[in-house]
Chains A and B, each alone.
Chain A
């Protein structure tokens, strides 16, 4: 299969999701798949700039190259309009889910609301969703329509036997 793995992160920064994306790519290639790593630049520190970065992800054609499958690992990469999108959510915009809205300014409340609404729409449209941890799964359960979400914890190494079950779930 041709598989695109999509992340979204700051440039010049090596984060845990990027490392897992590399391991996932290596495991898939080791099993004979053609893999493309797509890293969308994303700057999470400036809250006011997040909506336009979300829109950029929505408008980009991340399914270019006719992949058989697109696996997104990170907010806001999964906002893309991909017909064969599967989400293994290793990192999302967690603060948008924190239940202390009254203590935040208006702009923050609005942007957090946008993030939750965009998450709900995109994740409901995905073919499959898995969470990378129980806290992420718990937050996603607060979104309408998603139902139960399985947790797949990312292995830290590249032992193929640690990845077998995960790849089965992602690719089936």
Chain B
């Protein structure tokens, strides 16, 4: 079987959207399936989207090098516009400004005749091209719900993106720190973790790993740590390798994932689950709520510092319960069907 995985991306930036393509490609090859990736540069500026969608529509990947390709798997919007008689979508998000974020302060499009016109173009083109797919899968129930609500299409199933098979995440001792691995970004709310540290037991430590695309935000975080005199208890690692990340995850007593209204659970949640660590998330975090259950494999708390501090204190004070939750976190991977065999079986069926 010959499979083409197509997606859009922003050159020089690697994130969840490119990782899912690379991981899927690798897993297909491991199973003896011939696979090729197509990553199309895509500028998400709302005015540029229609012309780029037209360009993608002009691509026909039915044949390549004089041979048929059996399946096209389209990942990031609007790669499912590519012509192919046998395509499936593993849909990871809309251009949210034209959908659920329309009319909110986070919308990137103006509520003007042109903005409304372009919003409607995007919706219609998604309506049309998603319906050309033999099957549509999404990466979370949240995204599936949006596809149903806005595009009137019920996705066939949810396929949670697993970690690559040869990942480095392993269990380890429950140390004296909590870990938050993520891009430093306002939507990931590292600020809340720092504010919570002012309310935790004085021995609780926090490690914040990751780099940011916004230098101002990173500087703000460090300034707040100094202001709250948390210098000895909050450590920023900056960029770390996968091996360093795995080591830090193995040694923590719990992980945090505090993003606001995300489409999926975040890879760091999965990494912690593989390391048998519980994860604390927030009631408005979005996708992480599909896999994290309060008291079972982590904690779900209100998005305010004292509630978060209480959840952090619990994992720090009661390592026995932390281990129990961590073991449950590992069991949750299978329970939620986070598994490459299942993903590939569905995408290639």
Spell out A's residues near B (CB within 8 Å). 2, 4, 10-13, 34, 36, 38-41, 43, 45-46, 49, 52-53, 55-67
Quick one: given A12-B36, A59-B55, A60-B52, are A65 and B12 in contact (CB under 8 Å)? Answer: yes
Q: Chain B: how many interface residues by the 8 Å CB criterion?
A: 30
Cβ of B55 and Cβ of A39 under 8 Å apart? no
Neighbouring B residues of A10 by C-beta, 8 Å: 64-66
Q: Are the C-beta atoms of A41 and B66 separated by less than 8 Å?
A: no
Q: Is the CB of A61 within 8 A of B43?
A: yes
B35 CB to closest chain A CB, in angstroms? 9
Q: How far is the CB of A20 from chain B (nearest CB, A)?
A: 18
State whether B54 touches A64 (Cβ < 8 A): no
Whether B34 and A56, one on each chain, are in contact in the complex, defined by CB atoms closer than 8 angstroms, is no
Whether A61 and B42, one on each chain, are in contact in the complex, defined by CB atoms closer than 8 angstroms, is yes
Cβ-neighbour of B61 out of A41, A61, A62, A66 (below 8 A): A41
CA distance A60 to B8 in the complex (A): 11
Query: Are A13 and B64 also in contact (CB < 8 A) when A53-B59, A59-B52, A64-B11 are?
Result: yes
B42 touches A64 (CB 8 A): yes
Nearest-Cβ distance from residue A7 to partner chain B, whole angstroms = 12
Is A12 in contact with B2, judged by CB distance below 8 angstroms?
Answer: yes
1/0 contact string of B28-52 vs chain A (CB within 8 Å): 0000001010111111000010011
* Bound form: Cα–Cα A46–B59 in Å: 13
Identify which of A55, A64, A66 contacts B58 (C-beta below 8 A): A55
Beta-carbon contact of A60 and B40 below 8 Å? yes
Q: Which one, A57, A60, A65, contacts B10 given CB within 8 A?
A: A65
- Check B63 for interface membership: any CB of A closer than 8 A: yes
Question: What is the CB-to-nearest-CB distance from A33 to chain B, in angstroms, rounded to a whole number?
Answer: 11
Contacts A64-B43, A65-B41 given; 13 further ones with Cβ under 8 A? Answer: A2-B12, A10-B65, A11-B61, A12-B34, A12-B67, A38-B11, A38-B39, A43-B64, A53-B58, A56-B55, A60-B40, A65-B11, A67-B12
Residue in chain A with minimal CB distance to B45: A61
Most buried by A among B10, B41, B43: B41
Known contacts A10-B65, A13-B65, A45-B66; A61 and B41 CB within 8 A of each other: yes
Q: Nearest residue in B to A45 (C-beta to C-beta)? A: B66
Name the residue on A nearest B67 (C-beta): A12
CA distance A58 to B59 in the complex (A): 12
A-B CB contact pairs (8 Å), 18 listed: A2-B12, A4-B11, A11-B65, A12-B64, A13-B65, A34-B12, A41-B38, A41-B61, A49-B60, A52-B58, A53-B58, A59-B52, A61-B43, A61-B52, A62-B41, A64-B11, A65-B13, A67-B12
Once bound together, how far apart are the Cα atoms of A60 and B56, in whole Å?
8
Residue of A10, A11, A36 with most partner-chain B CB within 10 A: A11
List the 5 closest pairs (A to B, CB-CB), nearest first: A65-B11, A59-B55, A56-B58, A11-B64, A10-B65
